[in-house]
Structure 1
Amino acid sequence: MKGYPIIRFLAIAIIISVSMVWGCQPIDFTDAVVAHIQSETVTDSYQSEPIDLSSIAVSNTTETLTGGRYSDPSRMIMGLGNIDDRFKCAVVTHTPDPATSSTKPMGTITIDFGTGCADNHGKTRKGMIIVQYAGKRFWPGSTVVITSKDFYKNDVRVDGKLTLTNVTASQADFPKFQIVLSGGKLTFTDGRTATREHSMTREWQRGATPDLDKWIEEGTSSGTNKNGKSYQMTITNRLVYARSCELNNKVFIPVSGTKRLLVDKKEVIIDYGDGTCDNIINVTINGKTKTEILSDKGN
């Protein structure tokens, strides 16, 4: 009987020791986890580029509102480079659809960056973005389909089909779109690829000038990152993108909001902050948080 207290003491000591060992284990903020976050974020940014460029082209083309006539010839859309420097050496052309009318404008806008077009921030684009629209711009029920032809941004090839449907409740509200990405794929210079499919709603809060615009985004995505790992992403608190931060501060991520990333058997919570223009995020795993700075170069 005298041996029992000793046994209990040893058992308690073992439990305490094991608990201390587990408690001292490092938080799972490995380079691999950061690379997963980096890859998913960069893929999102690159796949959003055609939407951003298309929205500027559509909103500054008269025919997307009035319809024009099929007999009207194709014409170049001038002056977009004064609105957004990404267009400064792009050739933008509008071609009416045979079925276009004043009640339902239809046509195609082609944004051609040629063999290389650098913006004021040193980012180079080449190839074409093709925008097919049906319905008056920003009217409920109108659609825009965006595809690319040999489109590259900074030597990264961007493929995929984006279908935007206007789901705004009324014309008095900010335009809101249901966005479906199918066949999304990035091809990097080293031959690696990243794939993405997503279904999002995006509200376009238009400012007095395009550089003051904001995008509010909700939804989910899935795919594989450039390291071959499958992931699922869910926006848990609306993401806010500010165009002024991208243009003036080279910020390519949301300025606020949160999302959950499931990758490599880990749940990662990503917090984009309080609206400050930066590429800083807070990453939470198993209740522990660490700050990271992301780069638009991928990983």
Structure 2
Amino acid sequence: MKKLIIPTLVVLFLGCDKEDSKTPTNSEAVVDALTEYVIVNKVFQDIGNNNGDVVLSAESTTSTAKSNSVEKTAQDVEVTISPADFVTFPKTITVNFKTGVLGKDGITRKGEITIVSTNWYRETGSIHTATFTDYYHNDYKVEGTHVVENTGENLDGDLEYNVVIQDGKITTKSGALIEYQENSTRTWIAGSETPLYIWDDEYIWEGSQTGTSSKGLDYSLTTEESLHFVLLPRSIKSGILDVDIANIKDIKINYNNSTITILGKEYPFTK
């Protein structure tokens, strides 16, 4: 979806430079920064979705377990839960994708994710802290700390989760390093009735993200209007993002009408 925005942006930013010679930021570097943001955001959103699914699956597994640790292998993914009883916390859940597992969404994951949970995923106040050991999302190596806290139901009865990503790093196949931080709220609005099937999930996302591109450009994003995510097919149905990259401070991505506004000018893009 988002990859189709980038070729258009190349032309737009080059055009902006021609109209405003005072803009010191190199157009190619700005477009690269936005392209890298698309990558890193997709990777960490995917991690959030899958980690929640893992904790929910662990709850189902341990409800009938009798040993102090459980190993469950499905589709070549090895999941270890310890302690394995239903009531003892904190609980450590290790997900080992080994040398690589191709998912239903076409993504190959390899390496390990370790999740330490203070309670089950649906329990208010539960905190789920994920770290990574030689973990790859396709060719992108992932590092950092991913913390999710269940803050309870909102007025509509939907569960809300605070998400904090600290020291997030993505290393590309070529060795380029992209840094990333996030503080956001994810509201689970659909799919909670089928907790062991992730693909019908939908959620609302709002908050802020910051980072530094591989070329040293700082960027930040905030939600002007909450984003509505669906997982299959993976897309953003609606919402508005405000984006700052280096000295360009007024980029707006509008998923409601499929337009992007740069320096006050509006252009269409294809989702």
Determine if the TM-score, normalized by the shorter chain, exceeds 0.5: yes
Q: How does 1:1-299 map to 2 (within 5 A)?
A: 25=19, 30-62=27-59, 72-77=67-72, 88-96=75-83, 102=87, 105-169=89-153, 173-207=157-191, 208-209=193-194, 210-246=198-234, 251=235, 254-267=236-249, 268-273=251-256, 281-292=258-269
Q: Give, in angstroms, the shift of residue 37 of structure 1.
A: 2.1
In structure 2, runs of 5+ residues without a counterpart are 1-15
Distance 2:70 2:253 in 1: 45
Distance 1:122 1:63 in 2: 26
Asked if the contact 2:228–2:237 (Cα under 8 Å) also holds between the matched residues in 1, the reply is yes
Sort the Cα spacing of 1:64 and 1:146 in 2 relative to 1 into closer, same or farther, 3 A.
farther
Asked if the contact 2:165–2:181 (Cα under 8 Å) also holds between the matched residues in 1, the reply is yes
Bigger Rg, structure 1 or 2: 1
Q: Give, in angstroms, the shift of residue 286 of structure 1.
A: 2.1
Distance 2:209 2:105 in 1: 29
Distance 2:81 2:89 in 1: 12
AA of the residue aligned to 1:106: P
Aligned to 1:5: none
Distance 2:69 2:86 in 1: 16
AA of the residue aligned to 2:140: V
Distance 2:255 2:35 in 1: 13
**Structure richer in strand, relative to its length:** 2
Q: Deviations over 1:176-219 (max 9, x none)?
A: 11111101000011111110111111111232543221121111
Q: Deviations over 1:89-118 (max 9, x none)?
A: 311221118xx773x643111111101222
In structure 1, runs of 5+ residues without a counterpart are 1-21, 80-87, 275-280, 295-299
Sort the Cα spacing of 1:61 and 1:101 in 2 relative to 1 into closer, same or farther, 3 A.
closer
Distance 1:72 1:203 in 2: 34
AA of the residue aligned to 1:143: I
Sort the Cα spacing of 1:172 and 1:272 in 2 relative to 1 into closer, same or farther, 3 A.
closer
Q: Percent identity?
A: 24
Distance 1:255 1:169 in 2: 23
Asked if the contact 1:127–1:150 (Cα under 8 Å) also holds between the matched residues in 2, the reply is yes
Distance 1:108 1:258 in 2: 37
Q: Deviations over 1:32-57 (max 9, x none)?
A: 44333222121111122221111111
Asked if the contact 1:237–1:259 (Cα under 8 Å) also holds between the matched residues in 2, the reply is yes
Q: Give the CA RMSD over aligned residues.
A: 3.0
Distance 1:56 1:41 in 2: 23
Q: Deviations over 1:110-168 (max 9, x none)?
A: 11110122224542211011111112331111110011111001111011101111111
Q: Give, in angstroms, the shift of residue 171 of structure 1.
A: 11
* Larger RCO, structures 1/2 (Cα 8 Å, 6+ apart): 2
